Structure 1
Amino acid sequence: MNVAAIFHRSSGNLCYAADQDTVVLRLQTGKDVEQVTLVCADPFIHELTRRKHWYGQHYIMQCLCELPHHILWEYRIKPPFKRLQYYFEVSAGEERYAVMEDGVFPIGDTSPAHRQCFKFAWLNPSDVIAPPAWVKDTVWYQIMPDRFCRDKNAPDDPKFLSWGQKKYFGFNHTYGGTLKGITERLPYLRELGITGLYLTPIFSAGSYHKYNTFDYRTVDPDFGTEDDLRELVQKAHQAGIRIMLDGVFNHCGTNFFAWQDVCQKQKASPYYDWFFINQENFLSERVETADARYYTFSFWAGMPKFNTNHPEVIEYFSEICAYWVREWDIDG
């Protein structure tokens, strides 16, 4: 058996709460494994039944999917007391191993009582990820507005590249795609079976991609107006298509009001701690931040990184999200 291919951890996508009653457990193995059995029970079941050692019930796991070099096995269980202790038994031919938290051992060479089992400490409702029901069946189509469609009434601006032109492609080169252009193509998207549009950033910024946001409340004029966005959302909803916006909350552009205030007032700015500034003389003409004078997206000086643990940053972006929903009736 390819023991090195066996992997599990009691977190992430291998162990999580699917809802308030159900825990999902997954085990990754090599392709030589023929069967996986989950052995689990409440971690204190032996105390309840007055036994000396913990013991578990056996459940045959299902093959969830076959990957290029692995098999992913899954079992969904409803622990009556919202907690679990568990390990796995894997079989390949006559080989049988117990997969414990402290290693993989031949069955018979050890007892679960003398090894470290995996544990799911508590099924906490706050740990349950509960997206809206409609998300599950949505067919998403991602659109970078500048690259999708220039509306039929868009001005013939010389700053726009010709569609398909790549020779002089750069940071500030645009093709002139607009929100109205997306609206005009809704019938085409609906014909494809699309039921959700994921738009990359559309708010005021200094690049074609708009990931260096200057103002989270203003539609970038390259793409149109606020009314254009309202029209897009309204007509998309009429066509049965949801709208999700890309919120760039990891970093901003240099013209964002808080960063501008920090550059002017430095440590005296009330927004100084909204960012990760590591050096007194952090202002520089250098376009990269390999010197770590402040943290950024990648190493681009033009995209200072937010301290998203700061309460005021959390409050600011929570309100921004609420504003987008109130103002434009977006879906996410």
Structure 2
Amino acid sequence: MNKFIALCAALLPLASAHAADCKPAPLGDATLYLRGGLNNWAAQDEQAFEYRCNAYFLNIRAQGTQEFKLADEDWSAALTFGGGTDDQPSRAGSGNIKRAFNGEHTLKLSFAADGSAALDVGPKTFKPTPPQPITDKAALTTHFDSRNAEFKRPFGAQPAGTEITFTVGNDVPGLKRATLVVERRQMTGNQEQLSYEPVARIAMTAESRGMGTGFTARHTFTATGVYGYWFEIETEQGRYALQNNKDTIYWTREKGSMGIASVERLPSNLNRVRRYRQTIHAPGFEVPAWARDVVYYYVFPERFRNGDKANDPRPGGGRPQDRYQDRDVERHATWMEKPFKPNTGDGSDALFNNDFFGGDLQGLVEKLDYIKSLGANALYLTPVFRAPSNHKYDAADYKQIDPAFGTNADFERLCAEAAKRGIRVIPDTSLNHVGADSPYFNRFNNFPKGGAFDGGKINPASPYAKWFKFKPEETDPNKQFQGWVGVTDLPELDKNEPSWRAYAYRDPDSVTNYWLDRGAAGWRMDVAPWVPDDFWREWRTAVKTKRPDALTVAETWFDSSKYFLGDMFDSTMNYIFRNAVLDYAAGKSAKQMAANLELLREAYPPQAFSALMNLLSTHDQPRALHHFGEDKDLALAKRRLLLSVFFQMTYPGAPTIYYGDEVGLGGGEDPFNRAPYPWADEGGKPDDALLAQFKRLTKLRHDLPVLRHGTLQAPLHADDHVLVLARRHGDSWALTATNNSLKARTVSFFLPAELGALQQLKSPLDGATARPRANRLTLTLKPLSGLILTDPKSGS
């Protein structure tokens, strides 16, 4: 014993010395996150640093070189660390930090006495502090489910003026008090700023509930907006937050898919609470009735079809389409070449987006019958207005079709010919930025003098000068103006400038009206989150005044509830759907897919939910076949693609086919996701068997109104591989089931009463039948397959 006491006495000075080395957290209560390409730049709990003694630590698993910043949830300037000159984190660092990873690592962020930061990356050595478990039975057995009428009614997004009833229930004695907390969400930009402002704290009324206690409260949501709500509960042992779950939603900063609640100790910082979201939209919010019947064909025009070789861009030609900024364009020798990617040894120059194949509007007109035969009835075009690049988001003239694509008359002819075939045309543009090579900016002097930045010099006398925010004090021309997300080829517009708004949508011949007058059926708007909300509110009014049935589609990648309040957009490019479905078809859990999609069903007004542009491939992300491993097993990748398309065609919203997917066109990151369509007469090898399957599935969607108009029910079954959904339209029902496993799967589940009472369900695809038994149905699904069953009335 004396030896033990002596040992303790000897160790005490060492422990004291170690404690003396520990310092208070230099960033106070702030939480830092690793935010980069590996997590879509989001602030996720999994990448939150923990402060321990004298440094911040984080364990991650990653491969290859990653780019990231260290920042808090709000990208606060004082708490955002970018890459400095020595590639160490710096508050002044505007670039990204780059590090190479190979498996599991520990990141250590430490601060010197002068406040400078150092980031070390080494083998995994840090052991995070485990969360303190909750043992309070009264808290653990308190329930809430936002999709269950027992706990919340009515369900989902609601018009302003709606009273909503909230109930929390407890199974055992001990719940003393419950408070409904209602807040209004403030979110700007690409989720950079996100906060909640108090609206109401409502003491919930206790009521008997078996062995436990229930608490109920009501709140009337009088104004449109996206609200947050959660519950503060109190037991004999403490106070807790009954809140949203921890599900990660693709591209979305906030966690939680809603549904069943989770309980955690009430945090000292209430910003850590995960709110449920409640969308309250304008009572008169209408979406064009035709939107839910759409199947889009999505085209990158330069790569679809060359119908007029006379307008093809050619180096040294002397025409506008033959020049890219201050040099010649690059021209592909044959249609089936790969797109050029600089610095890859393919023989191209060092510039991106300046190589051309010759696709144009005449090519689209020639292939309208093909597009109709595919089953598409809407044509979405990435920009076709004059611009030097092949993608045309660097607008040079919003009111002129690019000469490499044709003329304004060709656009009108395309719209007219498409209309004869029942196809609507929806163009795309950016009202957030223009091209540096444009009459508005004129950096390269390719236009008459009068641009805001003629020849690389600020021109205060330009009629466009107020469209941009300049910094004359800077000496570097690249720093004298703001390029969108730092890209100097894309000068960012001042969206609050009245003269720009007049040109964009207020004037009778504004950009918005000009093309609606010439046959456009609506607009898809690029980078919508970077444009102020009040701009979109005015813009929507202009669109609907000019053409009440025009469709407005936003490019947003995250939970887009704020855009569906009835005052901005009708629809969005549904990237959450894309990621959820592709990951599921690639083998990830059906439960994970269902969580993401159920969030949308609950958060979006039904009229917008039924009009979503449901994507699989896009010009900004790798194609679906690439996602499925086309380079490893093309046949298997195509089976996974067809599973995705089956789900897409049987789910609410507007299925969207990116040109070439239907014939097996693959490709990874830009520019390879923008490869030319493989026309047989151009030397390509389209997969006609795959095309036939696409046509079969689009026909199924058009043949069954329940697939286009039917209300989606909560999932009937979801496990690691199988998801079963039910749709209802009047008296008609459709049941769909998908299996992402490489093995057959048998599942059994309860049916809604109306379906369970039927004698027989039948597949409209192959005639297979199924018979419910005692309100249950058992199905065996083939590997990587989808099954649809309908009642006898569903084809009406």
Query: TM-score normalised by the shorter chain: which range applies?
Result: 0.5 to 0.7
Equivalent position amino acid for 1:137 in 2: D
Cα RMSD for the two superposed structures? 4.4
Q: Are 1:82 and 1:122, in contact at CA under 8 Å, matched by a contact in 2?
A: no
Q: CA deviation at 1:200?
A: 0.9
Name 1:328's counterpart in structure 2: 519
Q: Are 1:308 and 1:314, in contact at CA under 8 Å, matched by a contact in 2?
A: yes
- Separation in 1, partners of 2:274, 2:471: 43
Where do 1:46-57 residues align within 5 Å?
54-55=203-204
Name 2:380's counterpart in structure 1: 198
Q: CA deviation at 1:120?
A: 8.4
Equivalent position amino acid for 2:282 in 1: P
Structure 1 length-normalised TM: 0.62
Name 1:315's counterpart in structure 2: 502
Equivalent position amino acid for 1:201 in 2: P
Distance 1:22 1:240, change over 3 A: farther
Q: CA deviation at 1:252?
A: 0.9
1:280 to 464, 473, 486: 473
- Separation in 2, partners of 1:56, 1:180: 68
2:310 to 144, 151, 155: 155
- Per-residue CA deviation, residues 93-135 of structure 1 (Å, 9 max, x unaligned), is xxx96128xx97569x99xxxxx99798995639x86432322
Q: CA deviation at 1:281?
A: 4.9
- Per-residue CA deviation, residues 197-247 of structure 1 (Å, 9 max, x unaligned), is 111111111122112111111111100112211111111122122211111
Q: Are 1:263 and 1:283, in contact at CA under 8 Å, matched by a contact in 2?
A: no
- Separation in 1, partners of 2:490, 2:462: 18
- Separation in 2, partners of 1:22, 1:196: 35
- Separation in 1, partners of 2:487, 2:264: 51
Q: Are 1:42 and 1:81, in contact at CA under 8 Å, matched by a contact in 2?
A: no
2:337 to 137, 159, 165: 165
Name 1:135's counterpart in structure 2: 291
Q: How many aligned positions are there?
A: 258
Distance 1:87 1:175, change over 3 A: same
1:99 to 243, 260, 263: 243
Q: Relative contact order (C-alpha < 8 Å, sep 6+): which is higher?
A: 1
Give ranges in structure 1 of 5+ residues lacking alignment.
6-14, 25-38, 44-51, 59-77, 91-95, 111-115
Q: Which structure has more strand as a fraction of its residues?
A: 2
Name 2:59's counterpart in structure 1: none
**Within the alignment, does 1:263 sit opposite 2:453 as a pair?**
yes
Equivalent position amino acid for 1:295 in 2: Q
Q: Are 2:361 and 2:405, in contact at CA under 8 Å, matched by a contact in 1?
A: yes
Name 1:299's counterpart in structure 2: 486
Q: CA deviation at 1:20?
A: 4.7
Where do 1:224-263 residues align within 5 Å?
224-260=406-442, 261-263=451-453
Q: Are 1:56 and 1:86, in contact at CA under 8 Å, matched by a contact in 2?
A: no
- Separation in 2, partners of 1:22, 1:195: 36
Distance 1:18 1:122, change over 3 A: closer
Q: CA deviation at 1:193?
A: 1.6
- Separation in 2, partners of 1:257, 1:155: 25
Q: CA deviation at 1:279?
A: 3.5
Q: CA deviation at 1:255?
A: 3.6
Where do 1:86-125 residues align within 5 Å?
86-87=229-230, 98-99=242-243, 105=263, 123=280, 125=282
Q: Higher mean Cα deviation, 131-140 or 310-319?
A: 131-140
- Separation in 2, partners of 1:220, 1:273: 26
- Separation in 2, partners of 1:329, 1:117: 42
Equivalent position amino acid for 1:87 in 2: W
Distance 1:85 1:262, change over 3 A: closer
Structure 2 length-normalised TM: 0.28
Equivalent position amino acid for 1:307 in 2: D
SS at match of 1:224: coil
**Within the alignment, does 1:187 sit opposite 2:344 as a pair?**
no
SS at match of 1:328: coil
Q: Are 1:18 and 1:129, in contact at CA under 8 Å, matched by a contact in 2?
A: no
Distance 1:118 1:97, change over 3 A: closer
- Per-residue CA deviation, residues 263-319 of structure 1 (Å, 9 max, x unaligned), is 2462344533311322435674xxxx4xx4311134332221111122222221112
- Separation in 2, partners of 1:173, 1:222: 12
Q: Are 1:144 and 1:199, in contact at CA under 8 Å, matched by a contact in 2?
A: yes
SS at match of 1:136: helix
SS at match of 1:266: coil
Distance 1:324 1:56, change over 3 A: farther
Q: Are 2:229 and 2:278, in contact at CA under 8 Å, matched by a contact in 1?
A: no
Q: Are 1:17 and 1:23, in contact at CA under 8 Å, matched by a contact in 2?
A: no
Name 1:48's counterpart in structure 2: none
Residue identity (%): 27
Q: CA deviation at 1:147?
A: 0.4
Give ranges in structure 2 of 5+ residues lacking alignment.
1-44, 47-154, 165-178, 184-200, 208-217, 234-239, 245-260, 268-272, 315-330, 339-345, 443-450, 524-796
